[in-house]
């Protein structure tokens, strides 16, 4: 039987997630619960139903659905599609589609001309791709067979052996470094950063291409301690291909509301000047910010 994975989006023409023009493939499921999550619709390894308020015309046909949300979120894909079809205006939408690796790569290959021109390729994102490690491996292997450049975004918290198994098929890991202090990391994400750092050091030692990506959220991890941690790790891991700061944006708040979670608070969006100040502070501490 052909293996399938749960995909919640394929974004074409991305220029921020690896070299050149990329097609980003978003896989569902994530073991972290970051309080600032940018893609909350990718957290559950299950199909979701989202409500798009701007499409709603107040016709009331969805009344049953919103009186019985527990049943809705526990339903299977076919039932959720039935619920979504109840809205004639497209205000209810299914999030998640089961696809084979070949189907994913076939869609991505539509952009081959742009990849060849720019040196781009495919980037796996999420969610956390390692929550579907076997499927991610099938996609990456199939992509490499087609001559595509491959990259994978990751939180770094999967078992080491899973990363080692994928290394031959990943040209570049986009590795999140969210918080230096372990207890704060648990508070912000729900998990310890110990395994994340151990994995990072080991796959770096084995020669993996790694770009360290540091999401910075004003009022949470824009601290001297964390900036010092970024500086130290950028010095220690000399073979890093890049160290990038990823300023907070609030798009995840609306997404969180659409899928009925409503748990995410909004933080202050930093200015470009503030980002430059963060970079200056890190370089002053001896760190490297480059891409």
pLDDT digits (tens, 9 = 90+) for 149-186: 999 999 999 999 999 999 999 999 999 999 999 999 99
Burial of 219 (0-12, 13-18, 19+ CB in 10 A): exposed
CB 142 within 8 A of CB 101: yes
CB 50 within 8 A of CB 93: yes
267 has pLDDT over 80: yes
Beta bridge partners of 172: 151
d(C-alpha 179, C-alpha 188), whole Å: 8
Q: Any residues with CB less than 8 A from the CB of 47 and at least 6 apart, and which?
A: 6, 28, 76, 77, 80, 94, 95, 96
d(C-alpha 172, C-alpha 162), whole Å: 15
Give the tens place of pLDDT for each residue, 180-199. 999 999 999 999 999 999 99
Rounded to two decimals, what is the model's pTM? 0.93
Band (98; pLDDT cuts 50, 70, 90): very high
- Mean pLDDT, range 261-274, rounded to an integer: 91
- Mean pLDDT, range 204-233, rounded to an integer: 98
∠ at Cα 213 (225, 116), nearest 5°? Answer: 165
Domain boundaries for CATH 3.20.20.70 within the chain = 4-44+98-284
Report domain 4-44+98-284's class: alpha beta
Mean pLDDT of the chain: 93
222 has pLDDT over 80: yes
């Amino acid at each position: 039987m052909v293996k399938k994975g749960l995909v919640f989006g394929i974004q074409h023409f991305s220029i921020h997630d690896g070299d050149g023009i990329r097609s980003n493939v978003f896989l569902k499921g994530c073991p972290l619960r970051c309080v600032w999550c940018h893609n909350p619709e990718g957290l559950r390894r299950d199909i979701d139903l989202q409500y798009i308020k701007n499409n709603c015309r107040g016709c009331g046909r969805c009344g049953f659905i919103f009186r019985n949300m527990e049943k809705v979120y526990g339903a299977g894909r076919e039932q959720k599609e039935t619920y979504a079809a109840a809205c004639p205006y497209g205000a209810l939408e299914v999030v998640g589609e089961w696809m084979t690796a070949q189907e994913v790569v076939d869609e991505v290959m539509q952009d081959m001309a742009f990849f060849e021109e720019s040196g781009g390729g495919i980037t796996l994102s999420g969610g956390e791709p390692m929550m579907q490690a076997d499927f991610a491996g099938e996609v990456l292997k199939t992509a490499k067979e087609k001559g595509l450049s491959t990259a994978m975004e990751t939180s770094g918290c999967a078992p080491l052996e899973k990363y080692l198994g994928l290394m031959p098929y990943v040209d570049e890991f986009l590795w999140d470094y969210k918080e230096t202090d372990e207890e704060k990391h648990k508070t912000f994400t729900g998990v310890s950063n110990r395994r994340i750092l151990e994995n990072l050091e080991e796959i770096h030692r084995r020669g993996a291409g790694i770009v360290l990506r540091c999401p910075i959220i004003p009022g949470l991890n824009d601290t001297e301690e964390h900036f010092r941690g970024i500086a130290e790790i950028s010095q220690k891991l000399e073979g890093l291909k890049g160290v990038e700061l990823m300023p907070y944006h609030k798009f995840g708040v609306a997404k969180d509301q659409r899928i009925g979670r409503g748990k995410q608070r909004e933080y202050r969006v930093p200015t470009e000047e503030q980002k430059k100040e963060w970079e200056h502070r890190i370089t002053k501490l001896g760190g490297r910010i480059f891409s």
